[in-house]
Structure 1
Amino acid sequence: MSQIEGPDDSQQDAIETQTNSSEGIEQDSKDMQRVRDLLLGNNRDVVTSPVKQDARSIVSEVFSEALFDRQKKDGSVDQVILPLVENSVENSINNHREQFVGYLYPLVGSLVRKSVTAFISEFLEKTNELIENSFTIKGLKWRYRAWRAGVSFSEYAASQTFQFRVKQVLLIHRKTGLLLKSVAQDHQLNDNADLVSSMLGAINDFVSDSFTSDSKDEEQNLGVVKTDNFTLLIKQGPYALLVAAVNGNESPHFNEQLQTTLEQIHRLYLNELVEFDGDDVPFDSCEKPLRDCLINELKPELETKQKQPWIAIILAFAGIVALLYYLVLWWQNESLVSEIKKASPPAGVIIRTIEQDGVNGLSLEALRDPQSTPIEEWLQQFKIGERTTQIKQELYLSAAPQMIQLRVESALSSFSGINTSWNGQVLSLSGLVTVTEYNDLQRRIEAIPGFKESFTLNMRNVSVKGEQTVNVTTQQQQLYQNALAEVQQIQFDFPVATTVLDRTQIEKVQNLADKIKELMLLAEINQYTMGVIVIGTADSVGASGTNTELSQARAEHVKSLLVEKEVASNEIMAVGIGKVELAQVATTARKVLINVVYHQNTLGHTEREGN
Structure 2
Amino acid sequence: MSDNPTSHSSEADDLRRLRELLLGDKVVYIDALYRRVDDPETRTGDVAEVLPGAMETVIADPVQQPKIERPLVETIRGAIKRDTESFAEALFPVLGPAIRRAVADALKSLVERINAAIEHSFTVKGLRWRLEAARSGVPFAQIVLRETMLYAVQEVFLIQPESGLVLAKARRADTLALDEDAFSAMLTAIQAFIQDSLGMPEGDKLRGAELGDRTLWIINGPQAVLACLVIGSPAHEVRDQLMDGLETVHARFGDELDGSPELLSDRPGIEALLEEMLLGEVAEAKKASGARRSLLMWGAAGLLLVALLGWGAWNTWQLHKEEIAIAGLFEAESGYVLTAHDSEGDELHFNGLRDPLTRAPEAILSEAGHDAEGKTLSFRPYQSLDPTIVLQRLRQSLGGEGTELQLDGDVLVVTGSVSPARRSALEQLPGLHPAVGSVDLSGTRLDGQAAAELARRELSAPGNVAITPANDRLTVTGDDAAWYAT
TM score, norm. by length of structure 1: 0.53
Deviations 1:506-559 (A, max 9, x none): xxxxxxxxxxxxxxxxxxxxxxxxxxxxxxxxxxxxxxxxxxxxxxxxxxxxxx
The 5-angstrom pairing of residues 455-466 of structure 1 reads: 455=436, 456-464=438-446
The answer to whether the aligner puts 1:246 opposite 2:246 as a matched pair is no
1:443 Cα offset (Å): 7.5
- Aligned 8 A contact 2:191 2:206 in 1: no
Per the alignment, residue 129 of structure 2 pairs with 142
The answer to whether the aligner puts 1:405 opposite 2:386 as a matched pair is no
Per the alignment, residue 123 of structure 1 pairs with 110
- Aligned 8 A contact 1:170 1:243 in 2: yes
Residue identity in the other structure for 1:277: D
Secondary structure of 1:391's counterpart equals: strand
**1:66–1:312 CA distance, 2 compared to 1 (3 A):** closer
Secondary structure of 1:318's counterpart equals: helix
The CA distance in 1 between the partners of 2:133 and 2:341, in whole Å, is 55
Per the alignment, residue 355 of structure 2 pairs with 369
The CA distance in 2 between the partners of 1:78 and 1:246, in whole Å, is 34
- Aligned 8 A contact 1:404 1:451 in 2: no
Deviations 1:551-581 (A, max 9, x none): xxxxxxxxxxxxxxxxxxxxxxxxxxxxxxx
The CA distance in 1 between the partners of 2:225 and 2:333, in whole Å, is 91
Specify which of 145, 162, 181 is matched with residue 158 of structure 1: 145
The answer to whether the aligner puts 1:328 opposite 2:314 as a matched pair is yes
Point out the structure with max Rg over C-alpha.
1
Deviations 1:89-133 (A, max 9, x none): 666x37xx4x54431112222331232133122212211211110
- Aligned 8 A contact 2:152 2:280 in 1: yes
- Aligned 8 A contact 1:464 1:470 in 2: no
The CA distance in 2 between the partners of 1:150 and 1:340, in whole Å, is 61
The CA distance in 2 between the partners of 1:229 and 1:133, in whole Å, is 21
Deviations 1:277-320 (A, max 9, x none): 32648995896697356113427455567442657754653344
Secondary structure of 1:118's counterpart equals: helix
The CA distance in 2 between the partners of 1:89 and 1:127, in whole Å, is 39
The answer to whether the aligner puts 1:262 opposite 2:246 as a matched pair is no
Tell which has more relative contact order, 1 or 2 (C-alpha 8 A, sep 6+).
Answer: 2
The CA distance in 1 between the partners of 2:254 and 2:120, in whole Å, is 44
The CA distance in 2 between the partners of 1:167 and 1:449, in whole Å, is 98
The 5-angstrom pairing of residues 493-512 of structure 1 reads: none
- Aligned 8 A contact 1:212 1:218 in 2: no
Residue identity in the other structure for 1:458: D
Secondary structure of 1:142's counterpart equals: helix
Per the alignment, residue 101 of structure 2 pairs with 114
The CA distance in 2 between the partners of 1:225 and 1:79, in whole Å, is 39
The CA distance in 1 between the partners of 2:381 and 2:426, in whole Å, is 21
Per the alignment, residue 232 of structure 1 pairs with 216
1:258 Cα offset (Å): 1.0
Specify which of 397, 415, 418 is matched with residue 430 of structure 1: 415
Specify which of 29, 42, 47 is matched with residue 58 of structure 1: 42
The 5-angstrom pairing of residues 352-363 of structure 1 reads: 353-356=340-343, 358-359=345-346, 361-363=347-349
**1:32–1:134 CA distance, 2 compared to 1 (3 A):** farther
Residue identity in the other structure for 1:428: V
The answer to whether the aligner puts 1:211 opposite 2:193 as a matched pair is no
**1:131–1:261 CA distance, 2 compared to 1 (3 A):** same
1:421 Cα offset (Å): 3.9
**1:444–1:161 CA distance, 2 compared to 1 (3 A):** farther
The CA distance in 1 between the partners of 2:176 and 2:343, in whole Å, is 53
**1:335–1:424 CA distance, 2 compared to 1 (3 A):** same
Secondary structure of 1:154's counterpart equals: helix
The 5-angstrom pairing of residues 246-325 of structure 1 reads: 246-247=230-231, 249-251=232-234, 253-254=235-236, 256-259=237-240, 261-262=242-243, 265-266=246-247, 269=250, 276-278=257-259, 280=264, 284=269, 291=276, 294-298=279-283, 300=285, 303=288, 306-308=291-293, 314=300, 317-325=303-311
Quick check: 312-321 or 166-175, which moved more?
Answer: 312-321
Per the alignment, residue 461 of structure 2 pairs with none
- Aligned 8 A contact 2:158 2:168 in 1: yes
Equivalent residue pairs, number:
410
The CA distance in 2 between the partners of 1:178 and 1:152, in whole Å, is 28
Residue identity in the other structure for 2:172: Q
Secondary structure of 1:354's counterpart equals: strand
**1:189–1:138 CA distance, 2 compared to 1 (3 A):** closer
**1:323–1:382 CA distance, 2 compared to 1 (3 A):** farther
Residue identity in the other structure for 1:295: G
- Aligned 8 A contact 1:134 1:140 in 2: yes
Residue identity in the other structure for 2:414: L
**1:446–1:211 CA distance, 2 compared to 1 (3 A):** farther
1:404 Cα offset (Å): 1.9
Deviations 1:61-106 (A, max 9, x none): 44569999xxxxxxxx999999998887666x37xx4x54431112
Per the alignment, residue 21 of structure 2 pairs with none
The CA distance in 2 between the partners of 1:301 and 1:447, in whole Å, is 98
Residue identity in the other structure for 1:243: A
The 5-angstrom pairing of residues 529-568 of structure 1 reads: none
The CA distance in 2 between the partners of 1:311 and 1:30, in whole Å, is 103
1:135 Cα offset (Å): 1.8
The CA distance in 1 between the partners of 2:306 and 2:359, in whole Å, is 43
Q: Which runs of 5+ in 2 are unaligned?
A: 1-6, 18-30, 55-67, 455-486
Residue identity in the other structure for 1:141: R
1:60 Cα offset (Å): 3.2
**1:287–1:197 CA distance, 2 compared to 1 (3 A):** farther
- Aligned 8 A contact 1:136 1:311 in 2: no
- Aligned 8 A contact 1:181 1:283 in 2: no
What is the Cα-based RMSD across aligned positions, in Å? Answer: 5.2
**1:237–1:467 CA distance, 2 compared to 1 (3 A):** closer
Deviations 1:205-245 (A, max 9, x none): 432454233xx757775444444564322234555433221
The 5-angstrom pairing of residues 370-389 of structure 1 reads: 370-376=356-362, 388-389=374-375
Quick check: 390-399 or 104-113, which moved more?
Answer: 390-399
1:372 Cα offset (Å): 2.7
1:260 Cα offset (Å): 6.0
Secondary structure of 2:198's counterpart equals: coil
Q: Which runs of 5+ in 1 are unaligned?
A: 1-24, 36-46, 69-76, 473-611
The CA distance in 2 between the partners of 1:382 and 1:454, in whole Å, is 31
The CA distance in 1 between the partners of 2:249 and 2:449, in whole Å, is 138
**1:217–1:228 CA distance, 2 compared to 1 (3 A):** closer
- Aligned 8 A contact 2:156 2:277 in 1: no
**1:465–1:450 CA distance, 2 compared to 1 (3 A):** closer
**1:340–1:232 CA distance, 2 compared to 1 (3 A):** same
